[in-house]
Amino acid sequence: MATVIDLNKGWGIMQDVHELGEMRGVYKPGWNPNDVGGAFSEWQAIPRLEHLQLTLAQQPYFGRELRYFNEHPWWYRVEFESPANAATGMTLRFEGVDYWAKVWLNGEYLGGHEGYFEPFEFEVGRMLKTDGKNLLVVQVASPWDKEVRAGQEWNRCGAVVRNMVKGTYEHCDTFVQRDVNPVGIWRPVKLIVHGGVRSAGMPAVTAAVAEDGKKADVKIAWPVGVDGKALRGKLRVKILSGPDGKVAATNVQNLSIASGVSTVSATATVNAPKLWSTWDRGGANLYRAEMAIEAGGKDVLAESVAFGIRTVSIVRTSTETKFLLNGKLIYLRGTCYLPDCYISAMDKARYERDVASMVRAGVNAIRVHVHVEKKEFYEACDKMGVVVIQDSDVNWTVPLTEDYAKRAVKIFGAMLRLLGNHPSIICWICINEPEAREKGKMNLETPGPQLWAAARELDPTRPAIRGSFNKDDLESGDSHNYTGSLDGNQTHFLDIYGTTEKLNTEFGFDAPPAMEHVRLVPKMAERLAAVMPHIAELHDYQYWYTKYYVEHYRIQKYAPCAGYFQFMWIDLCPQSFYGMYDWWGAPKVEGIGGGLSALEESNMPVGIFMEYKDAPVVIWVVNDRLEPLGECKARWLVTAGEEEVAKGETAVKVGADCRAKVCDFKFAVDAAKKYHVYLELVDGKGQVVAKNVYEDVFHPPKHPEGHPQRMEHELGMRLYWA
């Protein structure tokens, strides 16, 4: 059986500012910077493997001094002893290097790799020294792009040609601060001792559910590498149901594996499968597949994979974009997620904190925006029952070349294989906001068709969106809407009244962090000095904006809207951003409360809402659960100061997964008065199952002055009127 040796400590780094490293043999054993003149600095020891900005920069989230990290490549080196059984097979595995990598072992070039999230590895058993230390050297680069689309030089922010297949750099619009471009070996490096039989990749587990739901055929495809002669033995498969761990299915079969890498396949049938679903529609039922290869009477290789059994599909026409989970429509109450500029800063505890906070606010869906998170995030979604729509890293303006398309497809395919076992993922997005080549028309040329074809070929079990923000494209079908936000004072969020959307995957308004956290960043506090007394006003606008959008979409449930994704859950940096929470994890709830308060009121599975613009129109009830509520009572109370303006109740029948019109709701609105509207829904047992409050509802705040045009590009944040 394989053993793993961690190579995470003892690394030294050096930046190759003259880019002479390969020419001068930095990768060779015995190379000494002091022997080759002044072109090189000495090796600097680092305490851990993470993005270099987190290790070396005093302030890794803004500052022009960060640009030097990406102007030239970096060299890493580490020495290690060979294990006692060095004669057996050895795999050198890198879990994550951002972005371009070249690898040498004991002076011999092993190969290169492009990407940041995909593990890659080399077979090195015959190259290790049996006496003395081994030298591992890696060159890493994550360079700035220089090309700008012709005729768009004035608009570098939106028109820089993003040559790396990496969504989290060079935004320049305060999304990712202009000088931030993560670089480095940021995940563990391992030496796997495997004795000639090894896993050559994560087993892929898929489940085909019978139409009557009484059984599911679980198929396992396991890439296995064999060194030397062919291996003959047995493959044992066991399917365990969680959390009780009961055996749900088994299979034992003979197998013969040729030398090299091949795929071992097996199928096991699970009877009466417990389907995976969201926390609000049945819960996250998980299974585990345990596989072992036996040869010569003993186990030589074993692997274990968590998975879920469920079906997902999409209905997409000119008038609808709707998801079905386990054969039933599901309404998506979502948020977008990119919790830190540096993925290496995240850990299991932060992921579980964030996903748990989403569930408390009624969220059942997450869009992972233009990047890939660590596996611990997807595991949290699997366990907590939250569906995921996963973006690729292809974003905005990219090279329209066949070479780029091939590279993008390769990295996109790596993402599909890496994440494919997670039942929480229900959809892939091939491109985010493709560059507009003509006014009002997004680019669906290269690499769009290639990525779309790859999604269908590599994962026929899930739907894909070809280009997010292409509502009229029948291979896409979603919209982004920032009315009352990114178009400045030209519009107000109330202007969305009377409009419809099939599926919204972005809407949001950015607001500063909690006041006590602004003060923790002196440069930010200084620049926002004029804003500090008004943070409550900005949080309030985020509250109003978020509440109105969410209820607008809830009232349109399946007519035609199938869901929405607020942009986004938590700030990815200390500066001002779109989060419901700031980067420190504190909610933006100054004043009457920010967007989180709005979600807590309007984003729960069962809701009662007042449709309105300048005056009340209708009371609606929405039930997103699969269980009907039956005969209920809707109650309302409207006051203006001490005056009771309207009070009443009416019966309403609330079915499963439905919206129901309670009644027309009208009263004369006096512009001089402040109206307080309280709504509640009471079930047949007398329990309040939903309530809602509207404070001074007909005097919504104006769009904040200066937003979004006033930006501070050194800090990477919006300034409003500062």
Residue 203 DSSP code: P
Quote helix, strand, coil % in the chain, to nearest 5.
Answer: 20, 35, 45
Confidence of residue 487 (pLDDT cuts 50, 70, 90): confident
Confidence of residue 481 (pLDDT cuts 50, 70, 90): very high
Q: At which residue do the structure tokens 């951003």 appear? A: 577
CA dihedral (554, 556, 558, 562) in degrees, to 10, reads -60
Strand pairing partners for 366? 335, 388
pLDDT tens, position by position, 412-453: 999 999 999 999 999 999 999 987 655 545 556 789 889 999
pLDDT tens, position by position, 576-624: 789 999 999 999 999 999 999 999 999 999 999 999 999 999 999 999 9
Token code pair at residue 452: 């779309």
pLDDT at residue number 72 = 97
pLDDT at residue number 88 = 74
Confidence of residue 374 (pLDDT cuts 50, 70, 90): very high
Measured in whole angstroms, the distance separating CA 696 from the mean position of its chain's CA atoms is 36
Residue type, 451: L
Has residue 292 got a pLDDT over 60? yes
Calpha distance 576→719 (Å, rounded) = 9
Task: Quote the percentage of the chain above a pLDDT of 70.
Answer: 98
Given a contact cutoff of 8 angstroms between Cβ atoms, the answer to whether 638 and 694 are in contact is: no
Has residue 334 got a pLDDT over 80? yes
Residue type, 446: T
Helix H or strand E encompassing 295: strand 287-295
pLDDT, average across residues 657-683: 97
pLDDT tens, position by position, 551-572: 999 999 999 999 999 999 999 9
* Domains of the chain listed by start with CATH number: 3-193 (2.60.120.260), 197-307 (2.60.40.10), 331-605 (3.20.20.80), 607-695 (2.60.40.10)
The pTM (predicted TM-score) of the whole model is 0.96
pLDDT, average across residues 213-227: 95
Nearest to 599 by CA among 490, 508, 704: 508
Query: Lowest-confidence range among 157-166, 215-224, 375-384?
Result: 157-166
pLDDT tens, position by position, 96-111: 999 999 999 999 999 9
Query: Lowest-confidence range among 167-181, 604-618, 678-692?
Result: 167-181
pLDDT at residue number 443 = 58
First to last CA, the chain: 63
DSSP labels, 109-166: EEEEEEESSS-EEEE-GGGS-SSSEEEEEEEEE-PPP--B-TT-GGGHHHHB---SS-
Calpha distance 27→17 (Å, rounded) = 16
Mean pLDDT rounded to a whole number for the chain: 94
Question: Residue 113 CB: number of other CB atoms within 10 A?
Answer: 20
